[in-house]
Structure 1
Amino acid sequence: MVRIGVTGRMGSGKSTVARRFQEKGATLVDGDTLGWEVLRLPDVREAIAASMGPDVIDRGGQVDRARLGRVVFRDPGAMERLNGIVQPVLLRRVREVLEAPGQGVLVLDAAVLPAWRLEPELDGVIEVVASEDTRVRRIRAARGFTDQEARERIQGQKLPPIRGARRQWRIENEGDRAELNRRADAIWEEIESLGRSGESGSPA
């Protein structure tokens, strides 16, 4: 199996690229979905409530995503505490998925992939980038945020550079969806060739 990571900051279009690969036949693993599954684990939920306060827990006893987001994106210390609680559990789950045997192409869609330092464990990493103004516009349109809220989310997302990737691609996404799809499709052809040639560094 060929294992590819897709990363990029909020509003860059990384998930659009990942879904494009899914349309082409890849198995898509959404890092955000795995993350929210981890938040539902009782031990994790209790640790978050103890660290962030009871207000981030809703009436049903689950983590309130909107409230938690408002807390951590405005407070770097809170984000660090949250990562300390969630990241070890989440990384174990991600590695379980990556190490499972399979065929074809597996795509991991994860903004924080560089922070996880998973690059050497993948066959390649794609970084999707866009200017801050472009990302603000997209975030406002998609989530209904104000300009200030969108910029706070962007500024709160601190990510290290990609390091140690076996292969690396970069997509600049300032255009429309059709242009992004064309660029993604060109990379997809290269990814498919890795599987055909047996150049994948991951076990089948």
Structure 2
Amino acid sequence: MLKVGLTGSIGTGKSTVASIFKELGAYVIDADEVVHKLLKRKDIKEKIRKEFGDVFTPEGEIDRKKLASIVFNNPEKKKKLEQILHPEVFKEIEKFFKQVEEKDPNAVAIADVPLMIETGSYKNYYPVIVVYAPPEVQLERLIKRGMDKEDALRRIKSQMPIEEKVKYADIVIDNTGSLQDLRKKVEEVYEKLKKMAANN
């Protein structure tokens, strides 16, 4: 089985690439979805209550916006949150890989992880795929999604520059063209991955 890492930056089209891989038959786990589920777990809620105080909705769920506004401008708090969540995310990803391998030993299994390079966990995957779009295209896409320019720029600047991420990639999928172009590129990469999985 091939354990593929997929990453990119905000506005590069990583989620679109992940969903095309899925359509083509790859097994995909999305780290963001894993985090959503973790934030509903009782033990995680307790840890977050201890560390961050009242960041809960009246229904007792974690208010993601409140939590995000605390960690976004505070590196210390961000680190604390990552220490709570990241080990659990990696456990879930490993569990996912194990289940896929039992079911389909020649599978192409992809972990879609936004902070793979920043956390160093990219070393757990081969190949590492980075979805690329230049910063001006990222900005344009975020504004199209309804973000205001200031906010969009702040988001882009808060992440590791995409040019930097590309240096860690075994495969780069350039997403500056149309959706059709992108689909074609992903299909070509998937054919390569299937061959790699078969020879693994």
Structure 2 length-normalised TM: 0.85
Counterparts of residues 13-162 of structure 1 (less than 5 Å) = 13-54=13-54, 56-100=55-99, 101=101, 102-103=103-104, 104-142=107-145, 144-158=146-160, 161=165
Offset, 1:30: 0.8
Offset, 1:122: 2.4
Matched residue type, 1:122: Y
SS in structure 1 of the partner of residue 20 of structure 2: helix
Alpha-carbon distance in structure 1 between the residues aligned to 2:174 and 2:192: 18
Shift in alpha-carbon separation, 1:157–1:46, aligned structure 2, 3 A: farther
Alpha-carbon distance in structure 2 between the residues aligned to 1:122 and 1:170: 15
Aligned to 1:178: 180
Q: Deviations over 1:4-49 (max 9, x none)?
A: 1110111111111111111101111111001111111222212223
Matched residue type, 1:24: L
Aligned length in residues: 194
Shift in alpha-carbon separation, 1:157–1:61, aligned structure 2, 3 A: farther
Identity, % of aligned positions: 26
Q: Deviations over 1:84-119 (max 9, x none)?
A: 111122222222212332322211111112234333
Q: Which runs of 5+ in 2 are unaligned?
A: none
Alpha-carbon distance in structure 1 between the residues aligned to 2:39 and 2:90: 13
Q: Deviations over 1:164-187 (max 9, x none)?
A: x8x810122222211211221211
Alpha-carbon distance in structure 1 between the residues aligned to 2:116 and 2:5: 7
Alpha-carbon distance in structure 2 between the residues aligned to 1:69 and 1:57: 12
Shift in alpha-carbon separation, 1:62–1:174, aligned structure 2, 3 A: same
Matched residue type, 1:38: L
Alpha-carbon distance in structure 2 between the residues aligned to 1:162 and 1:80: 24
Cα contact 2:166–2:172 (8 A) shared by 1: no
Aligned to 2:9: 9
Shift in alpha-carbon separation, 1:66–1:140, aligned structure 2, 3 A: farther
Cα contact 1:74–1:156 (8 A) shared by 2: no
Q: Which runs of 5+ in 1 are unaligned?
A: none
Alpha-carbon distance in structure 2 between the residues aligned to 1:145 and 1:71: 20
Cα RMSD (Å): 2.3
Shift in alpha-carbon separation, 1:116–1:94, aligned structure 2, 3 A: farther
